[in-house]
Structure 1
Amino acid sequence: MLKKFILKNYKNFKDEISINFENTAGYQFSTDCVINGTISKMLIYGRNATGKTNLGNALMDIQATMFDISHYIGGSTILNADSTGNSAQFSYEFGFDDKVLIYRYARFSGQELKEEELIIDGVTIFKCNFESGKYEFENLNYINAEIANIDRYLQSMNVDGEEEIREFKLPFLRWMISNVALNNDSILIKLSNFVRRMRMTTAGNGMLMRARRINDTFNESLEDPVRLKDLEDFLNDMGIECRLALKNLPDGRKELYFLHEKLVPFYETASSGTFSLVDLYRKLLLRSWNPSFIYLDEFDAFYHYEMAEKVISYFSRRYPKCQIIMTSHNTNLMTNRLMRPDCLFILSKSGTLTALCNATERELREGHNLEKMYISGEFERYE
């Protein structure tokens, strides 16, 4: 699991911001929010423009580094506009079984790395400084990767080459995972499996506005009666009482309907909240998979607060071992019935992230009305 994340000089986060998933307060209620002392379900509140989406993009940046799966739109500008630093800094700490893995790197831009470092159980496995051209690979044997052809990697980096290659430098961790025969129980394989199963999404009602091709693909996937029933059950669990039917059109396409005495076209009559739910289903629930980490950004933008509560409960039940971070403006969700004070956070305009249990001098208990305290200004200095 992800144990800690540290970020600095990234977009609106000029100073260091960190999420310590192991910083729990020992509450004996809403225990499903914590697994083995690590926060698995987290809800972040923040005013507009505090950086909730930027924080999610930063957490997902490791996919771009390890697998070239970029989450940047337009490309390159990631540095804080008021900072004099030339790079954004990322640090991820993972726990796999009894081992601790720390992967750190710095970026000049969305495409170009400045440096990277891998540490396992306190041992520096490798360190690369792409700016200065200094590389350290002394402890690859610690992870049984001493057979890695370092000369080939350095050659690909054009180290000591006569001509300057303008291509962006290849992260060594990405190269090693792709080019070294690692043991099946290698901690790097576990890291790779975790990072590949990370997802970020912003819930919306854009299915109707999406290209027909995307909706056609989604409709075709519902041709499996098990999937169609799963979508129907999901909507009913969320409080949308309905029955669904999928029919073939004369042109060969599939069309989704509400099933009543007559068939009612789904995309022509569904509410914005229902579209948002189906879009969420399409992005995260349609396929059979085992996610490791999900960032749901403003997931409840189109939901009544009761439906938002149902979504939180549903994801907690469906993915009990997955780490899920949700962002919201909905203070109705600030309740101990769903979460707990060490899993509810406030993201401030100054770029600090504070758990509610650390945002007041009171000892927060299960009976406290957290929403009322929030509205009355109890946590105001942390916004």
Structure 2
Amino acid sequence: MLAKFTVSNFKSFNKEVTFDLTDTNGYTFNKDSIKHGIVNNALVYGHNGVGKSNLGLAIFDVIGHLTDGKKHDAGYEVYLNAYNVKKYAEFSYEFLIDGTMVNYTYRKLDYNTILSETFSIGGQLLATIDRTISNTAKFHFKGAETLKSEITNTELSIIKYVKNNTELDKNKTNDVFNKFFNFIEGMLFFRSLPKNEYMGTTAVSTNVVDDIIERGNLVDFENFLNQAGIECKLKLIDEIDRKTIGFDFDGKEIPFVKIASQGTRSLMLFYYWFQRIKEQGAVSLVFIDEFDAFYHHDLSELIVRELKRSGVQFILTTHNTSILTNDLLRPDCYFLIDKQSIRSLSKSTSKELREAHNIEKMYKAGTFNG
């Protein structure tokens, strides 16, 4: 699980900003939103332009040099903060992997150029490099003693280098190291604005319609849409050289993509990814940017509840205050972001927040502005 993340001098984040998912409050309701003392279900609120999307890009920067998954290079063209005088961005992650804390900190000059890295498991330093001093890395993994330590390629992560070039000894630390990589490779970011985009775990098929057909999920997708309040009947229809999904209006067929609203298309995209999220071990962490931009508030709540049931750790950004309720999550799972900080509702007021409180009303009244 992602436990804590800190970033500075990256896009809209000038000074150091920390997203702390371990700072929970011990509420006795919605306990399933917390796992191992870490927020498993997080909703992030903030005004336009304060960095909600950039938070996702910052967290997912790590996949750019640790995995071979899908990257979103265009999102990183403007990398450093315009006001910061430092020449590098800094990222620091804390993960809870198999009951052990994993810490990974690095500095980058741009999306591809790694300046320094430090990696530890359970407080034990296992790999480090600082190219402002030397291109020589130091490794302390059992089984990496003979590994070449001179790493001149600034686009090559030293821990990815270890992963790809060693047969590490079988021990608890190295097992956590491998599971750490499994977590990183299972991270997924997607959004429907300004267009359908994703990063991280590689999809089986890039065509959403084809994927639903190939998986035999047409009936399940129809049921999902009806559950979401879109009354419809679907069927497979023929196009020139392929099958596609169509709406069935008492025998009259119209291709889905020709008349589906943007909201319905967004639901199809969610459904597509949700099939992978439900697969055991396929997705470790999902970040959905503006997840309900096209949804009615009842549908937004349905999506959150479906994600909760899946058990996956998720972070959603939204403007929708109708789902700001203790019936759905709890005050330490709702976060407010601005350009200086990210803090939960429970840490944004001196008031004692209880289950019976209407936190949406309190939010609109400015209770959490202080």
Are 1:307 and 2:307 an aligned pair? no
Can you list the C-alpha shifts for 1:337-371, whole angstroms capped at 9, x where unaligned?
111000001002x3211111111111011111111
CA contact (8 A) 1:205 1:275 kept: no
Can you list the C-alpha shifts for 1:67-123, whole angstroms capped at 9, x where unaligned?
255333175431111111111111111122232210110011111011001112212
Per the TM alignment, residue 253 of structure 1 is displaced from its structure 2 partner at its CA by: 1.6
- For residues 292 and 260 of structure 1, what CA distance do their matches in structure 2 show? 39
TM-score between both structures, scaled by the size of structure 1: 0.86
- For residues 287 and 188 of structure 1, what CA distance do their matches in structure 2 show? 23
Per the TM alignment, residue 284 of structure 1 is displaced from its structure 2 partner at its CA by: 4.2
Per the TM alignment, residue 25 of structure 1 is displaced from its structure 2 partner at its CA by: 0.5
Per the TM alignment, residue 308 of structure 1 is displaced from its structure 2 partner at its CA by: 0.7
Per the TM alignment, residue 272 of structure 1 is displaced from its structure 2 partner at its CA by: 2.0
Can you list the C-alpha shifts for 1:322-343, whole angstroms capped at 9, x where unaligned?
1100000111111111110000
Tell me which residue corresponds to 2:166.
180
CA contact (8 A) 1:61 1:71 kept: no
Tell me which residue corresponds to 1:168.
154
- For residues 261 and 225 of structure 1, what CA distance do their matches in structure 2 show? 25
CA contact (8 A) 2:276 2:283 kept: no
Q: Equivalences for 1:1-383 in 2 at 5 Å?
A: 1-67=1-67, 69=69, 70-73=71-74, 76-133=77-134, 135-137=136-138, 139-140=140-141, 144-151=142-149, 154=150, 157=152, 168-182=154-168, 183=170, 186-204=175-193, 217-224=207-214, 226-249=216-239, 251-262=240-251, 263-285=253-275, 289=279, 290-317=282-309, 319-320=310-311, 322-348=312-338, 350-381=339-370
- Summarize the Cα distance change of 1:216–1:40 in structure 2 as closer, same or farther, 3 Å threshold: closer
- Summarize the Cα distance change of 1:147–1:231 in structure 2 as closer, same or farther, 3 Å threshold: farther
Counterpart amino acid of residue 273 in structure 1? G
CA contact (8 A) 1:204 1:279 kept: no
Can you list the C-alpha shifts for 1:166-202, whole angstroms capped at 9, x where unaligned?
x634111111111112349621210110000101111
- Greater shift after overlay, 118-127 or 180-189? 180-189
- Greater shift after overlay, 41-50 or 222-231? 222-231
- Summarize the Cα distance change of 1:269–1:71 in structure 2 as closer, same or farther, 3 Å threshold: closer
CA contact (8 A) 1:11 1:79 kept: yes
SS of corresponding position for 2:136 = strand
Runs of 4+ in 1 over 4 A off after TM superposition: 204-207
- For residues 324 and 53 of structure 2, what CA distance do their matches in structure 1 show? 20
Counterpart amino acid of residue 242 in structure 2? R
- Summarize the Cα distance change of 1:180–1:357 in structure 2 as closer, same or farther, 3 Å threshold: same
SS of corresponding position for 1:73 = helix
- For residues 35 and 155 of structure 2, what CA distance do their matches in structure 1 show? 37
* Residue identity (%): 32
TM-score between both structures, scaled by the size of structure 2: 0.89
SS of corresponding position for 2:26 = coil
Counterpart amino acid of residue 311 in structure 1? I
- For residues 127 and 303 of structure 2, what CA distance do their matches in structure 1 show? 42
CA contact (8 A) 2:292 2:318 kept: yes
Per the TM alignment, residue 31 of structure 1 is displaced from its structure 2 partner at its CA by: 1.7
Counterpart amino acid of residue 174 in structure 1? K
Higher Cα Rg: structure 1 or 2?
1
- For residues 293 and 20 of structure 2, what CA distance do their matches in structure 1 show? 27
- For residues 347 and 186 of structure 2, what CA distance do their matches in structure 1 show? 31
Counterpart amino acid of residue 193 in structure 1? N
Counterpart amino acid of residue 252 in structure 1? D
Aligned Cα root-mean-square deviation (Å): 2.3
- Summarize the Cα distance change of 1:97–1:227 in structure 2 as closer, same or farther, 3 Å threshold: same
- For residues 365 and 345 of structure 2, what CA distance do their matches in structure 1 show? 14
Per the TM alignment, residue 20 of structure 1 is displaced from its structure 2 partner at its CA by: 1.7
Counterpart amino acid of residue 148 in structure 2? I
CA contact (8 A) 2:212 2:272 kept: no
- For residues 225 and 84 of structure 1, what CA distance do their matches in structure 2 show? 51
- Summarize the Cα distance change of 1:357–1:285 in structure 2 as closer, same or farther, 3 Å threshold: same
Tell me which residue corresponds to 1:161.
none
In structure 1, runs of 5+ residues without a counterpart are 158-166, 208-214
Can you list the C-alpha shifts for 1:201-220, whole angstroms capped at 9, x where unaligned?
1135957xxxxxxx994333
- For residues 345 and 261 of structure 1, what CA distance do their matches in structure 2 show? 46
In structure 2, runs of 5+ residues without a counterpart are 197-204
- For residues 209 and 288 of structure 2, what CA distance do their matches in structure 1 show? 24
- For residues 277 and 227 of structure 2, what CA distance do their matches in structure 1 show? 18
Counterpart amino acid of residue 84 in structure 2? S
- Summarize the Cα distance change of 1:123–1:217 in structure 2 as closer, same or farther, 3 Å threshold: closer
